[in-house]
Amino acid sequence: RNVFLHDTGRARALLVDTEPKVLGAVLRDDRHGLFVADNALHEQSGRGNNWAMGYFGPRWRPKKPSRRQEFVLHGGSGNQAPPESDLVERVLRRLRREMDRAPDLEGILILHSLAGGTGSGLGCKLTECIRDLCPTVRICSAVVSAFKTGEIPLQNLNAVLCLSHLQRASDAIVLFSNDEVMALLSEAKQRPIT
């Protein structure tokens, strides 16, 4: 029995993004029918390469604290997140459905970026929500750092914020360097197949 595939040979996977473009391309290029189209969940707008937009959602805005709240450091500042976004709720509903189909579930692997708003913010928000939903299931976060010469000014801040949340919600974090992965792939392409 394969832990990554259903008996039908299709992936036990959810594909999540805040924009439909990349998911559409993945599903169009899925010649082997590996992914279940219903498990590709998205919204129509990205997160602007901003961790807070990914974590709290696109409609969240900090509230101006009252005079009394100005003295409160935690818990009452008025900047709490709104109820879970529609995308987070849809992902959790779909995850519950997949979990029902996997009675021997021992762990969940979450793969996402550390640089942009969707990968860093939404990725760690989903990890925290999954931890709350499944407190006994092992969670491994496989995260991919940005290229060293990245184009996102906030990428390092996004990564720090994301990792600070993941260390509390994940049982393991595996860090991949985008630069090193690309170098390995380039090297592998040049080797003759024997």
Judge if pTM exceeds 0.85.
no
Q: How confident is the model at residue 62 (pLDDT cuts 50, 70, 90)?
A: low
Q: Is the pLDDT of residue 71 over 50?
A: no
In order of start, what are the domains of the chain with their CATH numbers?
Answer: 15-190 (3.40.50.1440)
pLDDT at 67: 52
Q: pLDDT digits over 120-144, tens only? A: 999 999 999 999 999 999 999 999 9
Let me know: does 130 contact 163? Beta carbons within 8 Å. no
Q: How far is CA 180 from CA 120, 150, 159, 172, 176, in A?
A: 19, 14, 17, 20, 8
Q: Minimal CA–CA distance to 172: which of 73, 86, 81, 106?
A: 106
